[in-house]
Structure 1
Amino acid sequence: MNVPPDIDSVTTQSGSDVVHWLTNETRDQRFIDNIFAEMCIRLQRSGIPVKRGTLHILIHHPQWLGARMIWADGMREAEIARVDYDVRERSEYIGSSANEIHDGAAEVRENLERDPSLGRKHALYDEMRAKGLTDYVAWPLYHTLGKRHIVTFATDRPGGFDEAHIAGLKSLLPVLALVSEIRVKNRLARTLLETYVGSHAGELILAGATRRGSGTTVRAAIMICDLRDFTRISDSWPRDDVIDLLNDYFDAMSEPIARHGGEILKFIGDGLLAIFPLSQPTACSNLLHAVTEARQAMSALNERNNGTGRAPLNYGIGVHVGDVMYGNIGSRTRLDFTVIGPAVNMASRLEALTKQLGKTVLLSRAFADLVKGDFELEHAGEHEVRGFSEPIELFAYNG
């Protein structure tokens, strides 16, 4: 006589199948959100009645505290929502399961079938009840050195998860922690490189371009921008106001550069260096479009500052085009991924001349020849440029 298998043993075995998949078959998957969505689907197929799952990851990013990945029944991919730094001051966090776990709870379990007046009070639980969910559980997901992230599951099964389901889900946690930590740290490395050296340089470094002296010659349009009278401002303004001013100024300049395909290689005090590689057919035009939008953003910033009694910010931009050496330069233990060469020096000299000539944007003849006819340029004459033997013909751009 055939004896039907015990449902608890089936569920436990099914959880083991998902653990095996996580351990052995996800090595080629780069993104944790895709792994998490497939894991939830596999849990369903294995008999664990997951209807909804979320993964909450704390990340190091200039703009966001973390990311929340949400999967629900019928979805092939998880939705990703960015979480702002001020979330812990908002009602969506206060009193939530995330709040409890970050405060030290080892588990949050909520029976969504019982009278709401007897359970936890939070909008999240009301939303899940409205969707017909019956049970919810959240656990911390431990990464190295005590870093705590969060994973949650919910079901619509009458009576909620049984103990075998909970045991199957718990069996995933150590492996999910390892699998997610690898992907999060890979993403963190990429984010930090993008933040500090730019996306293109970051990709090259991740691909192995880390040897001192390694690099390549790139033909590019080069843009150098510098803030005027910054020494006076930094000496007379409160420190926090100076930092806010610099951040606002760099936002105004940087966002148009990134939007038009440029790459900011470094911030130098109150200045920045950006390139637009000529591998992009419209690189020079893109640079001037970025300058136009940056000037508009600076005008808007000065209007806002004028409303608080602050003096307007003035700046100069020098633009040239030429070959630059793009790669690793520095000491044996500290490298900078940057560009060097006479073309960079020329852009820097032109930026310095903007103050002398009373122009905001100065272009070299070499650059101007590549955009004539598309932009209105003002001839600014020939001028001696320090470090160069011959006078350089210059153009001003007032767009």
Structure 2
Amino acid sequence: MQTPSEAPSPSPEDGSFPARRQGVLDWLIIETRNERFIDNILVELGERLQAAGIPVARATLHFRINHPQWLGARILWRKGLAEGEIDLYDYGTQNTALYLNSPLYVINNGGTEVRTNLEDLTEEQEQSSLYVDLRAEGLTEYIAWPLEHTLGKRHIVTFASDRKGGFEDEHLAFLAKIVPALALVSEIRLKNRFVRTLLETYVGPHASEQILAGATTRGSGVTVGAAILICDLRNFTKLSDLWPRDDVIELLNAYFDAMSEPIERHGGEILKFMGDGLLAIFPLSNPDAAENLLQAIREAEAAIAVLNQDNLSKGREPLGYGIGVHVGDVMYGNIGSRRRLDFTVIGPAVNIASRLESLTKETKRPVLLSRAFVELAGCASSMEHLGAYPVRGIGEPIEVFAFSGNEPAPKLRLAAG
């Protein structure tokens, strides 16, 4: 009995290619339902097309994506690649000469097909770096079609061949036949990704995972130990009254970038922005949570200092802020009305962090830490002890420390045994 590797390669005359081609379409419509990622589908599609006698050596998918940072994404497969390559494009890319002279511009503006013979480029086509680069890769023909999603949303699929003479008419007829199925399959994955991006953007990565896993019932949640950070911008009401609206928005965005990026970089999760403030937690499931929070504050202070230098150079007042830090158990879950929920944390520990943030105004220190937190972090010797302060709503006075960012926090160690 011949093994698959010993069996003769099929030829167009033996009748296997038509069956394989139908199999590609059946696979795309029926068997991809358990594959979550469209880049994996594109890779397998390319391999199946080759096995079915379609001389595709390169394929791409181009999507406009709903993301706060990125305008679009390209997924690329080349013959021999086991994984797809994903490139993201900034907002503003649509205004570049590279895009305006590309077939993508033609399709996005109503074109139904762009077909190019790479073996015999016209003088005008020779000015396109895309076509020149594809020809340098040994490709012979390129074709781009729209991927029509619902409600008029249009994306793009492209195929390129390395066969001498390019695609035959039967090849293109089959590729055109699978495009509607590819549009349906890609739209499902794109919308799944959009939902995830939307949740990550507005509630954070961990909360989004909880919600997508089914934590959507009011009152559902868990109790977690966390280091809690609450930050507030000083004199924002005055600034918003005096400055033009666009300048205020620019100021807030720059301030939140300076505060948020270090928090997220060191494993914190920002649960919400509250006007000119934010609430973040560092779950104690990470043994370095307290140290990570301190490092995030150091880097945020440095970023705010740079921002203030820029503000001063523009004749603006430097920004002030207050940060309160505490540690304790919090209830993490869904709270709200029957139809409008907020995935957040509540509990006495959150209230204490909030009170410490307010206390920064009285103490004239921008960052205040509770004794409970500095004992967890093991950093009392490097912080300034301010004494005990009565805190509204709390029975006992709280031992308060002012943050000093000059010395690094000691590395936490877990005792053996």
**TM-score range, shorter-chain basis?**
over 0.9
What SS does structure 2 have at the residue aligned with 1:223?
A: strand
Residues 327 and 63 from structure 1, CA distance in 2 versus in 1: closer, same or farther, beyond 3 angstroms?
Answer: same
SS in 2 for 1:138: strand
SS in 1 for 2:71: strand
In the alignment, is the contact (CA less than 8 A) between 1:16 and 1:168 conserved in 2? no
Change (3 A) 1:104 1:12: farther
Alignment-derived partner of residue 287 in structure 1: 293
Q: How does 1:1-399 map to 2 (within 5 A)?
A: 12-117=18-123, 119=125, 121-373=127-379, 376-399=382-405
**Is the CA contact (8 Å cut-off) linking 1:64 and 1:83 kept in structure 2?**
yes
The whole-number CA distance in structure 1 between the counterparts of 2:272 and 2:313 is 31
% identity of equivalent residues: 62
CA distance in 1, matches of 2:236, 2:53: 65
Rounded to whole Å, the distance in 1 between the matches of 2:140 and 2:44 is 22
Q: Residues 160 and 103 from structure 1, CA distance in 2 versus in 1: closer, same or farther, beyond 3 angstroms? A: same
Q: TM-score, normalised by structure 2?
A: 0.92
Partner letter of residue 276 of structure 1? Answer: F
SS in 1 for 2:20: helix
Say whether the 8 Å CA contact 2:374–2:380 is kept in structure 1.
no
* Distance in 1, Cα, partners of 2:15 & 2:381: 74
Contact 1:11 1:164 in 2 (8 A): no
Shift of 1:116: 2.8
The verdict on how the C-alpha distance between 1:236 and 1:37 changes in structure 2, with shifts beyond 3 A counting, is: same
Q: Match for 1:270: what amino acid?
A: D
The one-character-per-residue Cα deviations of 1:354-383 (angstroms, maximum 9, x if unpaired) are: 011000110111111111248711101111
1:123-171 superposed Cα distances (whole Å, 9 cap, x missing partner): 1111112222111000000111111110000112111101110011111
Flag the 1:113–1:383 CA change in 2: closer, same or farther, 3 A.
same
Distance in 2 separating the partners of 1:136 and 1:332: 53
Once residues 96 and 302 of structure 1 are traced to their aligned partners in structure 2, the CA distance between those partners, rounded to angstroms, is 42
Tell me how far 1:13 sits from its aligned partner: 3.9
- Unpaired runs of at least 5, structure 2: 1-9, 406-417
Distance, in Å, in 2 between the alignment partners of 1:374 and 1:157 is 71
Equivalent residue letter for 2:81? M
For the 8 Å contact 1:11–1:165, the answer to whether it is kept is no
**C-alpha displacement at 1:9, in angstroms?**
7.4
**3-state SS, counterpart of residue 146 of structure 2:** strand
Change (3 A) 1:375 1:190: farther
1:49–1:157: 8 Å Cα contact kept in structure 2? Answer: yes
1:262 partner letter: G
Q: Which is worse superposed, 110-119 or 155-164? A: 110-119
Look up the equivalent residue of 2:374 and give its one-letter code: A
Q: What is the CA deviation profile of residues 52-110 of structure 1, one whole-angstrom value per residue up to 9, with x for unaligned ones? A: 11100111111001110111121111100001111111122112111001100011111
Residue 414 of structure 2 corresponds to which residue in structure 1?
none
Mapped to 1, the partners of 2:283 and 2:276 lie a distance apart of: 23
Answer yes or no: is the 8 Å Cα contact 2:11–2:17 preserved in 1. no
Report deviation, 1:44.
1.1
Provide the C-alpha distance between the structure 2 equivalents of 1:297 and 1:321, rounded to a whole number of angstroms: 25
Deviation (angstroms), 1:207: 0.2
Aligned partners of 1:55 and 1:68 also within 8 Å: yes
Letter in 1 for 2:57: K
Gaps of 5+ in 1: none
| Distance in structure 1 (CA, Å) of the matches to 2:17 and 2:321 | 67
With over 3 angstroms needed to count, the CA separation of the structure-2 counterparts of 1:192 and 1:7, relative to structure 1, is: farther
Whether the aligned pair in 1 keeps the contact of 2:324 and 2:356 (CA below 8 Å) is yes
